[in-house]
Amino acid sequence: MRRVMAMLGVTAVTVLGLAGCGGGGSTEDFCALDTQLNLADSGGDFDDLDSALDDAVAAAPDEIKGDVEIVRDTFDQIFGQLRDQDVSNLADVTPEQTQALQELNTEEFKQASTNIDQFITENCDTGS
């Protein structure tokens, strides 16, 4: 479970680091999003995470919009499965419920996450 949750955290930090304002659809808008938001700041609440991912999709430029949508859609599926089990926050996920999180390990998801990371590195001033 720790490995899956760690991967979820890394990916959420990457993607949620792009959330915070909507609109756009340009590199400038995408890069201007709040890079400080992370999984810990969200408290792990699925509704907050859903909203942040929707904001990231709205701001994503065409060249990575599909990748951001894949990440958002994967999280939507996982959150839906967990909600069906009366879980609404990542902090409440039990070891038995981690099966839903295994969907994060798909090649499509990993490639989309890699593409987003690469785009940020090449196009956004992340201050590092």
**Domain extents for the chain?**
2-123
- The pLDDT tens digits of the residues spanning 6-16 come to 444 444 444 44
What pLDDT digit, counting tens, does each position of 62-120 carry?
A: 999 999 999 899 888 888 888 888 888 878 888 878 876 776 778 999 899 899 889 98
Q: Do 45 and 83 form a contact (C-beta atoms < 8 A)?
A: no
Q: What is the DSSP string of 39-97?
A: HHHHTTBHHHHHHHHHHHHHH--HHHHHHHHHHHHHHHHHHHHHHTTT--BGGG--GGG
